[in-house]
Each structure stands twice: as structure tokens, then as C-alpha cells.
Structure 1
Amino acid sequence: MKQMKKGTKILLSVIGAAVVVLGAFYTYRGVYYQSHFLPGTKVEDVDISKLSYPQAKQKVAKTLRDSNFTLYDQKTKLTQVSGKELGITQNSTAYLKKIMRTQNSWLPTTTVRAESTTNAMINIDQQKLNQYVDQTLTTLNQGRQAPQDAKIVKTNDNYQIKPEVAGQTFDKSAVTKAVKEAVSKGQPKVQLADSHQQAKVTKNDAQLTEQLAKIKKIDTITGKYTIAGKTETITPAMIHQWLGYSDGKITLDQTAMKAYLSSLNDKYATYNKSRQFKSTKRGVVTVPAGIYGWSINSASELPKLTDVILAGKDFTREPVIVGTGYSKDGYGDALSDIGNTYIEVDKQNQHMWVYMNGQLKIDTDVVTGNPNGHDTPVGVWAIWAKERNSTLRGENDNGSKYASKVAYWMPIDDTGVGIHDSPWQPQYGGDWYKTHGSHGCINTPPATVAKIFNMVSTGMPVVVF
């Protein structure tokens, strides 16, 4: 009995000693982990177990700075970048203090794991990140196919949508975002498989489909030009050749259309063309071009023709015309724009006729320019001004200046030649002009020129031959 009591005392002593040791260890542990992180504590995948706050902060900062990030396209390794290159710094002060403050060092557990779930701890130098992505993509995108938007293409007799083409080049904003997210989450692998540039327009794009329907409609229209009483047809086949699609817009070949307008101008315009003219005394004569005549103003007409075609409806229009003598009804012959109201000056016969609406109103002898250096220029001209009491100035053959006062002045060309009274001329007609001709003007008897002045209007053609 005494021996059993003795054994019990020994056991109790051992247990007591163990309790004391355990208590001491528990106390030591509890005190120690009040200033150190518990075992198993990780922050951003950095193990900070048993480290003090300053040690943990230093380790986290160094790990982030020395970490490497590898960029992948699927399973293909592209390149690698260090945290230092990206200007990564850590801002773990608040978070580490929070862990230290909230961990319970007196709990009987032996492992506590803490993980940051935000990117607030990691700072990335945005400027360095942008520079890195710019430089990296310059290399990575070399030789890679860029995406191609879906577009409308022309076939021999139709139009269709050519689907978009996927690209292999990387998009800057997508790559920047992927790198930033991986770094923020402490992921050493940066996957760029979803960072390729995408086509902006796909084959199912609503606007593209709408434009295809519009271009097909335009391809069927017919246009007509009415020019000086004649009709020219713009066929669907012609429009098909002009139509195109570029940069998301329906286009028309401006060069080809300009060439078409030029061909119409060559066919119908009268400006700068000689004419067959039925004269009063000499029958049909060829008169060179002068300032009289009209032409198609291609510069103004081209955008108007473009707009009317793109409207997608059949149309009839007259082109924009510049010059004089144009008639919507025409005169049968495209070059017969002189009409039946005009002044005729026959230098050979030294005579002038004034016709109004086909009726002869005035005919008179005249004196034209001296053929020895001052010949009156031939051509189809026009009265472009009417002036009373003007002074005509010029230079004589000997270099002296002259100033002639006239009561009636009607300039007809672009060199200073015109019709006017000439009270200094003692006679008109015949061969008088050969020795006493003018400086190029058409000298007219004063009484007659007054009637002409009151009868004619500006723009009236003057045929000199």
C-alpha cells in the first residue's frame, strides 16, 4: 500500500512537471507569436512564417522585386520580365499589421494561413509597364498577321461579304491588363492567349449587311444625262465598274467617272472648238475657237453625280455647265451653239451683219484691223461688256501711245478687241483697211454703231472670219 502511494506520487510529479513544461512552452509560444507571424502564414504566396513584422515586410518586398513573370501564348513561351523591370513595389504595411493584430497566438492550433485577396499591396509603375509593353509588342508582333475586318468585295457580276480574318498580333491594352492582373495576383505565368487583336468588323456586322444591300441596289440603277437636247445613258454595267467598297464606305471610282465626264465634254462641249458656220456671202466657212462656247464643269459635276448615284435611285439630270451658248434644246448640230441671234464680221468683204432671231436687222461696211501687225483676230467671240463714252488706249507701231475716245464700246475678246464707233475714219469697206486699218478693233460708222449698241446684249456671239 505504501509502495502504491509512492508510485502515484511519482506519476503526479511527472505529470506536474510536464504540465509545467507545456505551460512554459505555451507561454513562450504565445508571447513569441505576439511579435512574429504564425506558422503557415503566407502573403501573396510569400511564406512569412515565424518572421517578425520588419523581416516579413523586407521578404515580401524582396520577393516581389526579384520575381520573374513569363509571358505565354497558350503553351508557347514568349518572353520573361522581372518585377524590377516593371517597377514593382509593395505596400504591405497595413496588411501585415492587420494579420499581426488579428492572429491569436494563444490558440492551440499550430498552423494559420493568411492570404491577401486584393492587389492593394502591390504597386506597379504604370509608366514602366507601358514602356515594357510597347517595346515587347514591337518585337512580338513582327511577322505576325494582323486581323482583317470583314468587308464587301466585288466579283465579276455581284458583291459579297468577305469574312474577317483572325489576327495573331497582340493588343496593347489587353496585354497591359493581363500583365497587371498576373502581377497583382502574384502569378508568375502571364497568359496572353486572349490578348490577340480582334477584327473590328465581322461578317455578321449589321452595318456591313446593310451596306451590302445598298450597294446591290445601286448596282441596278440607270442614269440619264440630257445635254444640249441629246440623251446619254449611264448603264448599270458602267456603275458596276465604278462601284467599290473601302474603309467601311461604299465608294465610286472618281478617276473613271471624271474620264466619263471628259468624254461627254469632248463629244458635246463647244468651248475651244472650231465651228462650221453658214456665212451670209461666202457659204459655209470654218471659224476657229474664240471665247464663246460652253463646257461641262467636271469639278462641280463630279460630286453631284457621285451623290445621285449613291442615292440608289434611277435618275435624269443635266450636267453643270460653264460658258456661253448652251441650250437645253440644242441646235441639231452640237457645235451649232451660235443660234440665230449673232453678229457676223466678214473681214474679206469688210462687212458686218446683225441677226436677231434669224432676221437681218443691220448690215454695214466696217474697217477691221490693219493686216500688217494689227489684224483683227478670227474666232467665235462674244460681247462681254457695253460701255458709253470710253477711252481706248494702246501703242502705235512706232512705240508712241494713243488714246481714242469713243461713244460706244463693246469688247468681244480677251485681248482688247471690240466693236466701236470711229468718227476719224473717212470711209468704210473695200480695201481701205489694208492701209488705214485699226489696231484690231472693228471700226463702225457712228450712226450705225449706236443702233447696234441699243440692240445687242452681253453674251451675244460675234463670229469673225
Structure 2
Amino acid sequence: MQDPQAITGKDIDYKYVSSGAVLQLLKTQKSWEWIGSLFETKNYMVQEETFFSREKLEEQVNSLNCAKKENQIAPENAYVSFVNSEFTIVPETEGNELNTKEAYQMICRAIDNDAAEVDLESDPKAYKKADVTKESSELQNMVNTYKNLTKVNITYTFGDETVTLDGNTIKNWLQFDEKGQLLQNDEAFRQHVVDYVAQLAADHDTVGTERQFQTTSGRTVYVYGSAYGWKIDQDKEVAQLMQEIQSGTQTTREPVYSMRANAHGINDLGDTYIEVDLTEQYMWYYQNRNIIFQSEIVSGLPSDPDRKTPPGIFTLNSKSSPSVLRGEMTANGTYSYEQPVTYWMPFNGGIGFHDADWQPYFGGDRYLTGGSHGCINLPPENAGQLYSLIQYDVPIICFY
């Protein structure tokens, strides 16, 4: 509260201006009727006017101590902050910033009513108020939303390994100003979620990586796999995680995958896989570490880059019996070759397992001169056996 200040009539050119009403009233009185006034009292009402400079009054109001900038403290809105390990509403502060227009109007009314003083604090409009108060439903909704955030506990499982995302980590993704006010920035927060999921993928995806593989023949080879492995569906995982954060979910789960492997860890190939040794010209089908099928093969012609069987890790695309294998279409509308087969099991585009009764023998060095167009040729009886055994999710490891 500040000390009182005075604005004098001289300060605002305050003047009494006669309208002539008093003089006119005097003229209507009769001198001989004075005796009657001894027995009765008469009151006469006349309207007289005063004038003052509204421009000077405005200057006076603006020069009041309470109107000076250095003497004013602006009100502050209520806001959400993180205090004592929880989200809470910090109440607004009133301040003492004068609303000069309202103060001017109050003083004008006081002058018009011949009032000798005016208390600006008596009018709640005379001082500026905070726009947002602690009763704000919007702030309460914010508090409830962010309280859910602190409850979040998502434990991701990657086989025997776990990674936990909790409210303490998520809180660090929020922005606060120097006074501790929570700054809502949904785009920046979502970017933190996107980055977190991207790091999960970088740490645990195996699609597109090279694996060390111990062959049946005892060699250690490195095989790249772009069509097999673990791959987190980052868009879907971000959407699910955002929803769980908003609802304060506590759960243990796998991330959302777009591709899955048979096992976690260094060897995500698991104990069930098909091994195709393109150097030894032999293949094995392991199920739970036990060999359930094996055969000599003839792979693609290694001297022709277009016919050489590419290494890599794949899975079965489809099965059909019988089928016709076709080469590229020529200019006259025919195919470079057409070969009927009884069993067709593609796993890498147009490359797959199939029977090949035209091969004089399998294994050994046959592929060096009589290699296929990239497919894995099998003896007809072996191809039939493989056709009955092969499953879609089994990794097919081809290597030299």
C-alpha cells in the first residue's frame, strides 16, 4: 500500500461555471415576503456546473507514484511446476500494477460527485489481475496429466535382457524455465520419445547386421542379413509409448516389431535354422540343434555374377508344387528359359530350393561348370522331403 497523494483543483484547472440559475432564482424572490420565512423554510434546488481539464487529469493520474513503472510489480499467472517430487500448481501473485484507465475513470467520477478523496484499492478493476489463477481448469488438467507421467514404468524385454523407462527419465524430457514453470512443448516432448525408440532400435535391432556363425564344417564365417532378424516398428512403438505415457501405464512388454527373429542375444538365429554351405555344396536343416534333414546341392554358377548364389540370411517366401521356373522375358515375348519343377521353395526373390532331375550329380565341383541360375538344386527325393519339413519362420543361412 502506498502513501496517499493529492490532486488539487489548480492541477486540473478545476472551475465553477455559473449557468445563471442562482441569479434567476434570486430575481423571483419578493422582498416583502420575508415575514413569511419566519414561519416556514423553503429549499430551492438549482443545477450548477463545474469543469476541469481531462487532459491534465490524465497527466496527473499518470504521474502518481502508484502509476510509475519503477513502483509497480506486475501480477504473475499461476503455473504448473515440479515441487517436492510432484507436479503442483504454483498460485498466482497479485502485484500492484495500476490500471491507469480505470483509475482515471474512478477519479473522474469522484470529481463529478464532489468527493474529496478516492480509494483506488476499493475497486478491483483499478489494479491489473493475473490472467491465470490457481483455480484454472486448464492448469488442473495439466497437473493430472503430468502426475500420470511420473507413474509410468515400461519394462521392455529382449529375451533375458530388460530395459526400463520410468517417470524419472521421462520427467527429464520436459522443459522448465528459470523459475520452475513447466513449459508445454508437445513437439519437443514427442521428439524425445522418437529419439528414445530410435535408440532402442539401434541397440537391439539385428536386421541389416553381420553375424558370426559357426558352420557344421567347423569354420567361423560372417553372414550379413537384411531379410532376417529383429526390427522394431519405430512409428508404431512411438504411438503406443506416447499413449502409455499419457495414461501412466505400468507394464512389462516387448516393443512393437515389424520383423522378428527366433532368438535374442548374439545368436538370434536360435537352434532351428537351415545352413547352406555354398563352398562345401551341402545343406543341413537343424531343429532344436538336431539335424532333421541334409543333402548335397548344386548352387549357382560362380563364374557368372548374374548366376552366382548370393550369401545372406533369408526366410521362406512361399511353397508351391508343382511350378514352372522362368527366366527373363525376351523381346519376342518368350522367356530365356522355362523349367517345370515338382517342388518350389523360394527364399530370396527368384532364388529358392527346388528339385533338379537334370543334374547328373550333386555336391562336389558340379556347380563350377553346371551351376544353376542362382537356385539351390536338390535331388528330387530330397527336395520332396525338404518341402514337407520347411517352415516359414526358419532362417536360411547361405555362405561361402
Q: Give the TM bin, normalised by the shorter chain.
A: 0.5 to 0.7
Residue 387 in 1 paired to residue 315 in 2? no
SS at match of 1:219: helix
Map Cα deviations across residues 400-459 of structure 1 (whole Å, 9 max, x no partner).
Answer: 71122211111112x321111112211111111111111111111111001100111222
How far, CA to CA, are the matches of 1:407 and 1:233 in structure 2?
51
Does 1:444 pair with 2:378?
Answer: yes
Q: Supply the distance in 2 between the matched residues of 1:212 and 1:159 (Cα, whole angstroms).
A: 6
2:219 corresponds to 1:286 = no
Amino acid at match of 2:192: A
Find the partner of 1:401 among 336, 344, 352.
Answer: 336
Match of 2:274 among 343, 363, 377: 343
1:252-295: CA deviation from partner (whole Å, max 9, x where unpaired): 82222222222222222221111122211133321111311121
Shift of 1:210: 5.1
Worse-superposed segment, 339-348 or 262-271? 262-271
Which of residues 337, 354, 362 in structure 1 aligns to 2:293? 362
1:225 matches 2:156: yes
Q: In 2, Cα distance between the equivalents of 1:360 and 1:431?
A: 24
Task: Name the residue aligned to 1:308.
Answer: 244
Paired with 1:270 and 1:345, the residues of 2 have a C-alpha distance of 20
Partners of 2:169 and 2:267 in 1: CA distance: 30
Q: Alpha-carbon deviations, 1:308-367, whole Å to 9, x = none?
A: 22222533222111113255xx4xxx2422222221100010001112222212211111
Structure 1 position 152 matched with structure 2 position 80: yes
Cα 1:165–1:358 change in 2 (3 A) is same
Matched residues in 2 for 1:147 and 1:377: separation?
Answer: 73
TM normalised by structure 2 equals 0.65
> CA offsets per residue over residues 377-410 of structure 1, 9 Å max, x none?
111111121111222222499x971122211111
SS state of the match for residue 256, structure 1? helix
- The reply to whether residue 320 of structure 1 matches residue 256 of structure 2 is yes
Distance 2:201 2:296 in 1: 38
| Structure 2 letter corresponding to 1:440 | G
Distance 1:74 1:459, change over 3 A: farther
Query: 1:457 and 2:385 equivalent?
Result: no
| Distance change in 2, residues 1:252/1:411 (3 Å) | same
- 1:460 deviates by 1.7
Matching residue of 1:208: 139
- Name 2:308's counterpart in structure 1: 375
Change over 3 Å in CA distance of 1:313–1:453 after alignment to 2: closer
Give the number of the structure whose alpha-carbon radius of gyration is greater.
1
Distance 1:434 1:74 in 2: 106
Report whether the alignment pairs 1:421 with 2:352.
no
SS at match of 2:283: strand
- On the 8 A contact 2:277/2:398 being kept in 1, the answer is yes
SS at match of 1:259: helix
Q: What are the Cα deviations for residues 81-108 of structure 1, in whole angstroms up to 9, with x where unaligned?
A: xxxxxxxxxxxxxxxxxxxxxxxxxxxx
The one-letter code sitting in structure 2 at the alignment partner of 1:433 is Y
Match of 2:232 in 1: 296
1:245-284 equivalences under 5 Å are 253-284=189-220
CA-to-aligned-CA distance 1:153-199 (integer Å, 9 cap, x gap): 46897655466699x9x9xxxxxxx9xxxxxxxxxxxxxx9699986
Partner-residue secondary structure (3-state), 1:368: coil
For residues 272 and 447 of structure 1, the distance between their equivalents in structure 2, rounded to whole angstroms, comes to 35
Other-structure match for 1:412: 347
Computed over aligned residues only, the root mean square deviation of the Cα atoms, in angstroms, reads 4.3
1:206, CA displacement in angstroms?
4.1
Structure 2 residue runs without a partner (length 5+): 1-45, 47-57, 63-73, 100-104, 106-123, 176-181
- Separation in 2 of the partners of 1:339 and 1:462? 12
**Change in CA separation of 1:448 and 1:147 when aligned onto 2, cut-off 3 Å:** farther
Q: Across the two proteins, how many residue pairs are aligned to each other? A: 311
- What does the per-residue CA deviation read over 1:29-75, in whole Å, with 9 as the maximum and x for residues that have no partner? xxxxxxxxxxx9xxxxxxxxxxxxxxxxxxxxxxxxxxxxxxx8995
Among candidates 145, 149, 165, match of residue 234 of structure 1: 165
Query: Could you tell me which residue of structure 2 aligns to residue 98 of structure 1?
Result: none
Give 1:1-16 correspondences, 5 Å limit.
Answer: none
Q: Which AA in structure 2 matches 1:407?
A: T
Q: For residue 253 of structure 1, give the secondary structure of its aligned residue in structure 2.
A: helix
Q: Equivalents in 2 of 1:453, 1:387: separation in Å?
A: 9
Decide whether aligned partners of structure 1 residues 375 and 147 sit closer, same or farther in structure 2, where only a CA change above 3 A counts.
farther
Partner AA of 1:435 in structure 2 = T
User: Which secondary structure state, in structure 1, belongs to the residue aligned with residue 243 of structure 2?
Assistant: helix
Bigger relative contact order, structure 1 or 2 (CA pairs below 8 A, ≥6 apart):
2
Equivalent-residue separation in structure 2 for 1:423 and 1:313 (angstroms): 60
Q: Percent identity?
A: 33
Paired with 1:227 and 1:239, the residues of 2 have a C-alpha distance of 21
Question: CA 1:306 to 1:243, structure 2 compared with 1: closer, same or farther past 3 Å?
Answer: farther
Asked whether the equivalents of residues 287 and 380 of structure 1 are also in contact (C-alpha less than 8 Å), the reply is yes
203 and 250 in structure 1: CA distance in 2 versus 1, 3 angstrom threshold = farther
